[in-house]
């Protein structure tokens, strides 16, 4: 389970399995990966708070009416009304996980709650969260890889490994296993570095057009020509699948995922034509520890419960948050949020339910593009005006 009704609140994050009447719940969506939207359909009738990029996908891909979408701009606190006399504030932070993914910081009479959703921690992400250090009562943490066994390389290192594999198999076709959302920038960097066109799904192509412009993507619908490198749904890659492909032409597969990290067995270890590269959009164990020790919350709760990994592996040990006990801030007295706002430390924006996007820039993920624009330039990716604040390592 990847969604929760936050303890002591009426706030539901990535939680859509509602039975009976639930008008009292206020719903937030961290991102649009399938395991975070189970139960969310086009017939949904309640308001959803999310990032602007996610709101675009909710409307265009899932058919939700614009009147139900409430946009949370990055790094700005907005007031969420509960009743005529009661409200709380929420601030969204870039989660550096997939396009549109955000973390939420809630402040109200229930205290201060930080909900990471899925995220990949980094020094830049920690810098963006500097205002919440020593302020968090309860931290809901992405515990996907919360195990000392789960150590894997940076995404840049994994990109270089993928480039190396493909260059070593210059006479082979290459299939790359991906999911519906995510890996768009990874694939673009790969295509540019190899100077090859990559055939991607129509969904990937459409999402990438919202993020950047590049000439290294195509789809079957746009071109009759076959290309050496193409993406396939990750779940299709297996020994039998590769045997079938190799009957026609020599083919290798790359799975850019850390999903098998920390398991007692390593799938595909005997398959010479399948390469698992631990590219991850989740934080590894060391990054999680750095994140918690920097923010110093009072309490940490795991987001993923009843943990089952690949092949039914029991991963319940990753729900154990006692590994962070030594870095928790147990002696902090909770500051009243109205004191903070009266001192002018935050910009607070009242949320107008009847307004559209106003002056908020579309897809303004991360204000740190200036720091990463050199990376975009070297890969010849031109960021669209609608996403001019997107960072190159966002996936």
What would the pLDDT profile of 100-142 be if each residue is shown by its tens digit? 999 999 999 999 999 999 999 999 999 999 999 999 999 999 9
Question: pTM of the entire structure?
Answer: 0.81
Residues 80 and 118 in one domain: yes
- Average pLDDT, stretch 314-340? 75
pLDDT band per the 50, 70, 90 thresholds, residue 40: confident
Separation CA 135–CA 340 (nearest Å): 11
Shared domain for 134 and 162, answered yes or no, is: no
pLDDT at residue 230 tops 80: yes
The first and second tokens of residue 7, run together, are 């303890």
In this structure, the answer to whether residues 56 and 144 fall within a common structural domain is: yes
- Whether 252 and 142 map to the same domain: the answer is no
Check whether 385 has a pLDDT greater than 50: no
The answer to whether 250 touches 194, Cβ cutoff 8 Å, is: no
Same-domain status, 249 and 136: no
369, part of any domain: no
Residue among 344, 383, 378 nearest 364 (CA): 383
In a domain, 385, yes or no: no
Task: Identify whether residues 136 and 200 lie together within a single domain.
Answer: no
Q: Is the dihedral of CA 387, 391, 392, 395 positive or negative?
A: negative
| Count of structural domains within the chain | 2
The reply to whether 174 and 76 lie within a common domain is: no
Tell me: pLDDT of 37 over 90: no
How many angstroms separate the CA atoms of 68 and 47, rounded? 4
Comparing 307 with 93, the larger pLDDT belongs to 93
CATH number of residue 191's parent domain: 3.40.50.12650
Please state the φ and ψ torsions of residue 123, each to the nearest 5 degrees: -65, -35
Range of the domain at 185: 155-277
Q: Is position 253 within any domain?
A: yes
- What is the reported pLDDT for 115? 97
Task: Render pLDDT for 54-81 as a digit per residue (tens, 0 to 9).
Answer: 999 888 878 888 999 999 999 999 999 9
For residues 171-184, give the mean pLDDT: 92
pLDDT value, residue 306 = 74
Rounded CA-CA distance 48/29 in Å is 7
Does one domain contain both 134 and 24? yes
């Amino acid at each position: 389970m990847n969604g929760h009704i936050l303890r002591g609140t009426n706030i539901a994050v990535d939680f859509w399995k509602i039975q009976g009447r639930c008008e009292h719940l206020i719903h937030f969506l961290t991102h649009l990966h399938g395991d975070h939207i189970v139960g969310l359909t086009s017939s949904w009738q309640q308001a959803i708070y999310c990032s602007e990029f996610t709101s675009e996908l909710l409307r265009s891909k899932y058919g939700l009416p614009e009147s139900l979408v409430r946009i949370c701009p990055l790094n700005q606190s907005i007031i969420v009304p509960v009743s005529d006399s009661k409200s709380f504030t929420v601030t969204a932070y870039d989660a550096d996980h997939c396009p549109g993914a955000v973390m939420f910081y809630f402040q109200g009479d229930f205290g201060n709650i930080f909900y990471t959703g899925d995220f990949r921690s980094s020094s830049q992400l920690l810098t963006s969260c500097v205002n919440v250090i020593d302020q968090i009562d309860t931290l809901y943490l992405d515990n996907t890889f919360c195990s000392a066994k789960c150590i894997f390389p940076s995404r840049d290192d994994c990109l270089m490994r993928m480039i190396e594999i493909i260059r070593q198999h210059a006479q082979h076709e290459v299939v790359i296993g991906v999911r519906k959302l995510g890996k768009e920038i990874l694939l673009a960097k790969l295509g540019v570095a190899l100077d090859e066109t990559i055939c991607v799904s129509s969904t990937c192509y459409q999402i990438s057009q919202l993020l950047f412009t590049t000439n290294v993507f195509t789809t079957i619908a746009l071109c009759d020509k076959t290309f050496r490198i193409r993406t396939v749904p990750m779940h299709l890659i297996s020994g039998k699948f590769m045997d079938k492909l190799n009957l026609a032409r020599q083919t290798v597969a790359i799975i850019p995922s850390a999903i098998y990290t920390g398991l007692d067995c390593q799938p595909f270890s005997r398959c010479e034509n399948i390469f698992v590269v631990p590219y991850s959009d989740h934080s590894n164990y060391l990054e999680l520890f750095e994140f918690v020790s920097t923010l110093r919350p009072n309490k940490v709760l795991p987001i993923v419960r009843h943990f089952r990994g690949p092949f039914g592996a029991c991963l319940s040990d990753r729900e154990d948050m006692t590994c962070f006990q030594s870095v928790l801030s147990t002696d902090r007295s909770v500051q009243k949020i109205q004191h903070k706002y009266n001192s002018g430390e935050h910009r607070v924006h009242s949320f107008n339910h009847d307004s559209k996007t106003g002056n908020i820039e579309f897809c303004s993920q991360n204000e740190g593009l200036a720091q990463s624009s050199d990376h975009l330039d070297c890969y010849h990716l031109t960021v669209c005006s609608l996403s001019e604040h997107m960072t190159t390592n966002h996936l």
